[in-house]
Amino acid sequence: MENKKTVLVTGGSGFIASYCMIALLNNGYKVKASLRSLKKAELVKQMLKEGGITNLDDLSFVEAELSNEASWANAAQGCQYVIHTASPTPNTDAKTIDDFVKPAVDGVLFVMKAAKKAGVKRVVLTSAFGAVGMGTNKKTPYTEDDWTELNDSVAPYQRSKTISEKAAWDFINSEGKGMELSVVNPTGVLGPVLSNDFSHSIQTIKQMLDGEMRSCPKLIFGYVDVRDVADLHFKAMTMPEANGQRFIAVAGQSLSFLDTASILRENLGGKAAKVPTKEIPNWLIRLLAIFNPKLKMITPLLGSVKHASNEKAKKLLGWKPRSNKEAILATANSLIDLKIVNV
């Protein structure tokens, strides 16, 4: 039996991270998960069990903090690969752009430097579609050749993702010296939730199901199932063709919030009783945003249509994502099964 390779997965309690760990453990890798506090280790084990992992012998935990450079040397020790999903969660105290950008850039560079020192073969960075398609409006689908243009319409989180991804490529080009990098840029991440801790896009489905979203804002986005995001990370880590490439993770055609609501209503019967049936005009959202910070975040995106292409991942890596419909319904059913929404 050959020695199992060890993968450091940063931000181990996150939604994408937990599915990456499930994919790695199912494929015979050892996983070292970094957590800001080891108190979260039990929650992570629960999530992995919920995701079907019965044997946790190949899982270990290490405490590491994105703002603490010294903590990463120990984390990367003995690892052949790193999947860097951790991203500083913008805290509500973040006042300036730097409060978002600096922690994201520092975090990426601390992990890359530690990986280089530890002799890691390849780092897979979880970036975001926010580093690809913001600040511009294209009629044709966005591809991996596109980069977000950092103008005033770009939200701080997307700005941080763009600048930190560029920092990772710069590091590889100037100091990588043979260490490899692949990047995954997910669109809105859906899929079966494993706990109360889940992505921003799932919040949308939750708000539709529990009646908190009475009408749909006019927003059109790409979605992808978290299981396919994890599969793309795995392929980006293991396949020679993925070295030096970035990959957009998107299921297919972008959907409006109203399309998403219709899929829920058509397939969930009575459980979708509170799901909205109409759209809210843009002018009304702009007015309400004056009083509601959640709405303020989406106002720059009103009226924009973001289509993204998944051709590169499909052609180069043989990636086969689930459909939007499957991702949306898996999300909804898991929220209902875990009693996170009352329908």
Is position 166 within any domain? Answer: yes
CA dihedral (159, 70, 83, 45) in degrees, to 10, reads -110
CATH number of 239's domain: 3.40.50.720
Report the chain's mean pLDDT, rounded to a whole number: 93
Instruction: Please say if 161 is a catalytic residue.
Output: yes
Query: How many Å separate Cα 22 from the centre of its chain?
Result: 15
Check whether 92 has a pLDDT greater than 60: no
Output the CA angle 41-45-46, nearest 5 degrees.
115
Distance of alpha carbon 209 from alpha carbon 328, whole angstroms = 12
Domain that holds residue 89: 6-191+223-251+308-321
Is 331 inside any structural domain?
no
Q: Is 91's pLDDT higher than 60? A: no
Of all residues in the chain, the percent with pLDDT exceeding 90 is 79
Is 125 a member of any domain?
yes
290 in a structural domain:
no
Pairing type for strands 59-63 and 220-221 reads unpaired
pLDDT for 137 equals 86
Number of domains the chain is built from: 1
- What is the DSSP-derived secondary structure letter of residue 301? G
Main-chain phi, psi angles of 265, to 5 degrees: -65, -40
Q: Tell me phi and psi for residue 271, to 5 degrees.
A: -70, -15
Radius of gyration over every alpha carbon of the chain, rounded to an integer in angstroms: 20
pTM flag (> 0.85): yes
Could you tell me what percent of the chain has a pLDDT over 70?
97
Catalytic residue among 30, 32, 116, 161: 161
Count CB-CB contacts under 10 A for residue 223.
27
pLDDT in tens, 198-231: 777 899 999 999 999 999 999 898 999 999 999 9
pLDDT at 155 over 90: no
CB atoms within 10 A of CB 3: 7
Do the domain assignments include residue 149? Answer: yes
For 102-163, the DSSP string reads HHHHHHHHHHHHHHHHTT-SEEEEE--GGGTSSS---SSPB-TT-----STTS-HHHHHHHH
Domain assignment of residue 286, yes or no:
no
Look at residue 206 and tell me if it is in a domain: no
Count of Cβ atoms closer than 10 Å to residue 219 Cβ? 23
- Give me the residue label for tokens 């530690």: 114
Residue type, 184: V
The CA distance from 196 to 199, in Å, is 10
Please check whether residue 187 is in contact with residue 222, taking contact to mean a CB–CB distance below 8 angstroms: yes
Contact 124, 83 (CB under 8 A): yes
Phi, psi of 26 (to 5 degrees): -65, -20
pLDDT of residue 83: 98
pLDDT in tens, 15-71: 999 999 999 999 999 999 999 999 999 999 999 999 999 999 999 999 999 889 999
pLDDT mean over 180-207: 92
CA angle, corner 232, sides to 181 and 333, nearest 5?
145
- Alpha carbons 158 and 11: distance in angstroms, whole number: 18
> Which among 142, 116, 113 has a CA at the least distance from the CA of 129?
142
93 pLDDT above the threshold of 70: no
pLDDT, mean of residues 225-238: 98
What pLDDT, on a 0 to 100 scale, did the predictor assign at position 1? 45
| Residue 36 belongs to some domain of the structure | yes
